[in-house]
Each structure stands twice: as structure tokens, then as C-alpha cells.
């Protein structure tokens, strides 16, 4: 049976491993021991396939889903994102939800039509006629620029001569009028010269515009066909949930965008439905296998700009998988989102006066209310300080980051503190425990960052489109267990700046302990805002507030 080639029985003895009570929350999780055992067995398998080694070395997301068959016996399914070795179907792995690589399928037919348009565009762009016109136009422009530059030099010489004559004085009214006429003539001649240049290019531009119009029309046709193909394909991706319901990806994304009021989710992005998690769940539902727990891990080198570590587990991507899994998990008893749980720790005030308060925000608490969780440092501060008016929150910390946070109690204080942050007059220090050995004792990390549009809130390094992000670091301690204690002083304040600068190969190459997005899961993210220095907006005194932190054993 096909199911037996996809459902794998554990080689490792799992009799002493207890089953999880609830299914994995896929967007923030610590892998269950059953998943790590299944992942190890999958890793052993892919390492045995030498013909895939080169491709897998480039990087691939792999996933496992532990399932229970109708007899109550545990096994696991395996999947890869996208395709592997030019194919969607391999014996060990679950099949795709819809096979894009089927030569007789919708995608291949549409791809053939789009490829034909691409060939036409390429032929027009490379045509001898167009290349000759572009060459002639370029040569004419060079000649015109030289002529224009020569005439401007003549004008400048005339201007200097007229200036000298005026400086020497003794000009009659008629001589002054002659100088003005000369200046006016040269300016008019410059306009006539530029007009002649345009006329010299007009015939070439006319011929080129005809070709360019044809190219643009083909590009429009290609865009329309591509969008129509995408729409048809996502209608063909029909997925199930644990309740036995079915929906196409087109409908899932449209419903999710409307319900969550997130227009960017209205149309499925490219690659939706090709990730591990949807493939695994779909196969389980279709073959009466009950999902028990799930995990995805990266295998191979990190993509350029991104942070992916070989063998590390990662949460499901949000842009492609959040709407899909929101539907597919319906009917399963799923773990609650841990980031939506109210933080049980208290908000400690370290400094307070009539104008501002500095608090120690505990790990797991939002800086301000979110859509899923109203509890936050801001709401707790307002409960304690109802006298605060106007904007209050001056800056933010990630939910997983602990440490110093400033609140203002009036509009003027808030405005001045924000100015200090904007002009980088505030000095912040963070202490972090890094997973690995940092060789340099200190220095500067300068890696520009931008959001990963396909996997928010992750950030990527981008030297063309990223915003400057600069961090100073100093190694405080290197521990025998391979943990490095580092003091970070960020000079900019980009999202996830310290987390990416720590984990990226061009940074320190050692992720912060407990960083689920860029490293490995742990009890918490070991990043703490330990010191902040600023000028008091009212008294003018320079304040330094410190908040030491000792990590849990």
C-alpha cells in the first residue's frame, strides 16, 4: 500500500516517551521528544541519499509529523518544502497537495504559455534593429553632451569676461546693454541647442517607442496570464482539516484576510501550500492518521541574507502558512499560543518621579497590547499610574526580551525622550547569552536589515534595500559549556537587530540562547536590557538606570 511507504515506524525505542496531551502550536514551540527522534531518523535517511547531497547542502526545510494509526500505533511522516531533485514525489516523503510538476497539469500548461511570451520579449529586446537603434542613440547623446559641454564653457568664459569688464567700470549705457544682449543671446542659443538635440533624437525615439510599446504589451499580457494561472492553481489546492471540511487555498486566504482584517493575506503568495506542515497534515487527514505532534528543521547552508542554522528547528512561516494552518488545525486539540498567555511575573518599577517611570519588563510580557493579548507593560503601567496623560510608551522591547523600559507621564516628556531616541542620544546596553564560541573580544557589527516579507516578523540582511543597523559588542565571559556572555550596545534600533547580528554568519554566527526564530528553542530568550542612559527631559540630569540579570540554571 502507498501509505506504508510514507508512514514510518520508529526504529528507536519510544516506549518510555510519553505522548503529548495536545498537538503542537506550529508558530512557537519546543520540539516534543517524539519529534526529535523522528527528525533524527529522517536526517539519517537523507544523509544516506548521496545523490541529493549537493542540493541539500544549499539548504532545505524538512519536517516530521508524528501520527497515530487506527490501531493506536505511533509512526511518523516526512516532508520537504518545495521540490527535491526536480521532483515532487519521492518514496520516503508525503506527496504534494497539488503536483505542480505534472507535465500534463495546469501549471505546466500555463508555464508553457508564459515561457512563449518570455521568448517573444527576449527576441524583441535582443533584435538587431533595437540594438542598432540603442547604439546610435547612445552615440548621438555622447556627441551632444560634448557639444553642450563645449558651449557651456564658451558661456562661462563670456560670463567671466563680462564680470571683469563690469568690475573695471567705466562702461557706457550702450556697452552695458550690449553685454546684457550678449548674455541673453547665449542663453537663448543654449535653449536652441538643446531643442536641436531633441529633434536629432526624435526619429530614433519614435522607432524605439514602437518596439518598446510592443514589449510592454507583452509584459502586460505575461502579468495577466501569470496572475490568472496563480489564481487557477490556488483553486486546485484543496486542503482538509480535522473536522473533515475542505477548502481551496484561494478561499482560505480570502476568508482569513476578511476575518482578521489583514488585506495582505487576501491573495495567496507564491509557494503557498508547498511548505512541510500543510503537506504533512493533508496526508494524515486523507489516510485516517491522527496528528500527534509536529516539527520542522533546516538542513544545509543558510540562504543568502537569512539566518538558518543546519539542524535547528524553526516555526512555520506566517505569510504562507498562518492562514492555511489556521484552517487545517481546526478540529484538533492544539496547544494554546504561548505568546498569548498572560505573563505571571510582576512589572517592577526601578525609577519613578513626576514625569517618567523606568520599569523592568519581564520576559514574556508585551510592551503594549496586541491583538491576541491585552495584558502588557503599558496596560499595567496605566493601571498603576492613572495620572499619566498623552503618549506614554517611549520605546519597545520584544515580548521575549526582558529589561528596562521607559514610560512618560505627559506629552512634553514623551516628545523629548523620543527625540533623544531618534537622534541616538540614548545609550542602551543589553546582556545576552550566545550559543557558541565568539572568537573576537569586541568590535562593531554593521549589517543592514529589512523585514522578510514572506516570513514576518523575521528580518533578513540586505545590503541593497536594508536599513543601516549597527551594534557594538564586547565579550564578557566564555563559559566551558560553549556559552558566550556578550554585552551589546546598539547604535541603531532596528527590529530584531541584536538577534540577527548575533546569529548571522556575517555577524557573530552564534544565536542568542532560546531564540526560536534565529537559533534554538530554550526556556526563554536570553536577552536582557540591562542599562539605559538618557538626559532627564525636565531636570536636565543625566540618568543611568541599571538592571542586572542572572540567567536561570
Query: So which residues are the catalytic ones?
Result: 398
Question: By C-alpha distance, which of 82, 69, 88 is closest to 8?
Answer: 69
Positive or negative torsion for Cα 12, 17, 22, 27: negative
CA distance 520 to 30: 9
Size of the chain in residues: 553
Positive or negative torsion for Cα 178, 182, 185, 191: negative
- Contact, 224 vs 218, CB < 8 A? no
Question: What crossing angle do the helices spanning 173-236 and 106-126 adopt, rounded to 10°?
Answer: 160
Q: Which secondary-structure segment (H or E) carries 238?
A: strand 238-240
CA distance 173 to 171: 7
- Contact, 330 vs 242, CB < 8 A? yes
- Contact, 551 vs 433, CB < 8 A? yes
Q: Give the cell for residue 135.
A: 547604439
Burial class (CB in 10 A: 0-12, 13-18, 19+), 272: buried
CA distance 84 to 93: 10
- Contact, 508 vs 473, CB < 8 A? yes
CA distance 124 to 211: 7
Count the Cβ atoms, other than its own, within 10 Å of residue 177: 11
Count the Cβ atoms, other than its own, within 10 Å of residue 495: 17
Q: Give the β-pairing of 527-535 and 402-408.
A: parallel
Amino acid at each position: 500500500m502507498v501509505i506504508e511507504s510514507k508512514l514510518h515506524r520508529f526504529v528507536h525505542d519510544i516506549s518510555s516517551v510519553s505522548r503529548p496531551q495536545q498537538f503542537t502550536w506550529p508558530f512557537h514551540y519546543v520540539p516534543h521528544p517524539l519529534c526529535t527522534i523522528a527528525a533524527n531518523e529522517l536526517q539519517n535517511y537523507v544523509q544516506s541519499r548521496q545523490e541529493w547531497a549537493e542540493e541539500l547542502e544549499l539548504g532545505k526545510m524538512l519536517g516530521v509529523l508524528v501520527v497515530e494509526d487506527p490501531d493506536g500505533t505511533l509512526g511518523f511522516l516526512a516532508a520537504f518544502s518545495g521540490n527535491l531533485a526536480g521532483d515532487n514525489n519521492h518514496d520516503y516523503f508525503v506527496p504534494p497537495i497539488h503536483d505542480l510538476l505534472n507535465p500534463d497539469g495546469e501549471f505546466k500548461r500555463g508555464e508553457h504559455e508564459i515561457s512563449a511570451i518570455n521568448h517573444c520579449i527576449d527576441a524583441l529586446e535582443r533584435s538587431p534593429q533595437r540594438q542598432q537603434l540603442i547604439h546610435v542613440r547612445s552615440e548621438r547623446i555622447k556627441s551632444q553632451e560634448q557639444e553642450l559641454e563645449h558651449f557651456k564653457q564658451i558661456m562661462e568664459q563670456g560670463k567671466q569676461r563680462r564680470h571683469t569688464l563690469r568690475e573695471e567700470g567705466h562702461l557706457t549705457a550702450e556697452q552695458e546693454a550690449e553685454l546684457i544682449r550678449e548674455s541673453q543671446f547665449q542663453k537663448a542659443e543654449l535653449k536652441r541647442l538643446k531643442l536641436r538635440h531633441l529633434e536629432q533624437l526624435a526619429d530614433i525615439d519614435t522607432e524605439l517607442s514602437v518596439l518598446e510599446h510592443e514589449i510592454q504589451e507583452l509584459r502586460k499580457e505575461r502579468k495577466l496570464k501569470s496572475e490568472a494561472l496563480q489564481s487557477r492553481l490556488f483553486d486546485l489546492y484543496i486542503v482538509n482539516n480535522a473536522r473533515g471540511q475542505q477548502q481551496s487555498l484561494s478561499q482560505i486566504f480570502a476568508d482569513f484576510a476578511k476575518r482578521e482584517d489583514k488585506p495582505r493575506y487576501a491573495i495567496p503568495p507564491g509557494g503557498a501550500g508547498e511548505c512541510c506542515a500543510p503537506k504533512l497534515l493533508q496526508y494524515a487527514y486523507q489516510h485516517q492518521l491522527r496528528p500527534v505532534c509536529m516539527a520542522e528543521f533546516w538542513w544545509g547552508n543558510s540562504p543568502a541574507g537569512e539566518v538558518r542554522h543546519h539542524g535547528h528547528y524553526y516555526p512555520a512561516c506566517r505569510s504562507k502558512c498562518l492562514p492555511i494552518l489556521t484552517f487545517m488545525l481546526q478540529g484538533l486539540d492544539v496547544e494554546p499560543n504561548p505568546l498569548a498567555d498572560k505573563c505571571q511575573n510582576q512589572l517592577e518599577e526601578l525609577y519613578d518621579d513626576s514625569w517618567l517611570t523606568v520599569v523592568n519588563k519581564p520576559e514574556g510580557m508585551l510592551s503594549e497590547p496586541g491583538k491576541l493579548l491585552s495584558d502588557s507593560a503599558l496596560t499595567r503601567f496605566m493601571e498603576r499610574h492613572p495620572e499619566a496623560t498623552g503618549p506614554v510608551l517611549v520605546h519597545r522591547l520584544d515580548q521575549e526580551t526582558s529589561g528596562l523600559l521607559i514610560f512618560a507621564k505627559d506629552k512634553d516628556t514623551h516628545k523629548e525622550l523620543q527625540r533623544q531616541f531618534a537622534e541616538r542620544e540614548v545609550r542602551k546596553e543589553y546582556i545576552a547569552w550566545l550559543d557558541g564560541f565568539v572568537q573576537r573580544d569586541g568590535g562593531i557589527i554593521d549589517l543592514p536589515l529589512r523585514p522578510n516579507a514572506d516570513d514576518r516578523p523575521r528580518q533578513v540582511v540586505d545590503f541593497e534595500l536594508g536599513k543601516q543597523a549597527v551594534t557594538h559588542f564586547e565579550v564578557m565571559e566564555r563559559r566551558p559549556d560553549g556559552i558566550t556572555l556578550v554585552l551589546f550596545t546598539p547604535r541603531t534600533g532596528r527590529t530584531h537587530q541584536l538577534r540577527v547580528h548575533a546569529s548571522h554568519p556575517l555577524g557573530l554566527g552564534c544565536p542568542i540562547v532560546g531564540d526560536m526564530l534565529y537559533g534554538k528553542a530554550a526556556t526563554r530568550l536570553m536577552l536582557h536590557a540591562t542599562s539605559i542612559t538618557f538626559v532627564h527631559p525636565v531636570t536636565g540630569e543625566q540618568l543611568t538606570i541599571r538592571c542586572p540579570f542572572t540567567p536561570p540554571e
